[in-house]
Amino acid sequence: MVFKGLILLGVVTIVEVAIALVGNGHLIEGFRVAKYIMYPLMICLSLYKAYFIVYEFMHMRYEVKGLAMSVLLPTVLLVWAMIAFFQEGSSWGARRAQIKEKNAEKVEMSAQPEGMLLDAQTKELQ
């Protein structure tokens, strides 16, 4: 069974590498696969390999369901947290760039005071 698993993992890895090389145009000049097709396919193959390793080589297939869930649930939550942190970081970076852009703008000062909260002395000068 170990050799069947090794062969399966090897074949899936070779398919992943072939998809990456063909998809980016390295093997066939001028032929490229759209990233929205290539990326999900490679993610699915990687998840299949992870599933196979956990369930076969770590013997999760033979454990009770509660133990398997106690291993898998934190893993799923960790992946969810990573996605959330990357999204938040990207959003923060975009807002930070906008703040820097606004801070770099030059504002002309007007000769006349403007605004609603002028004090009485300033109003008399107008």
Give the model confidence (pLDDT) of 71-119 as tens digits: 888 988 999 999 999 999 989 988 988 898 888 888 777 767 666 666 6
In whole angstroms, what is the distance from residue 123 CA to residue 119 CA?
7
Tokens of 3: 């050799």
pLDDT beyond 90 at 11? yes
Q: What is the pLDDT of residue 122?
A: 57
For 79, the token pair is 């992946």
Token readout for 84 is: 């959330």
Amino acid sitting at position 119: D
pLDDT greater at residue 75 or residue 126 = 75
Cα separations in angstroms, 19 against 35, 36, 88, 91:
11, 13, 31, 31
- Residue 54 contacts residue 69 (beta carbons within 8 Å): no
Q: With 80 as the cut, is the pLDDT of residue 124 above it? A: no
Sequence-separated (6 or more) residues with CB below 8 Å from residue 12? 45, 48, 49
Contact criterion met (CB below 8 Å) for 126 and 112: yes
CA distance 93 to 110: 33
Domain segments of the chain as ranges: 2-83
The pLDDT tens digits of the residues spanning 25-81 come to: 888 888 888 889 999 999 999 999 998 998 888 888 888 988 888 888 898 899 999
pLDDT, average across residues 16-27: 90
Q: How remote is the C-alpha of 111 from its chain's centroid? A: 50
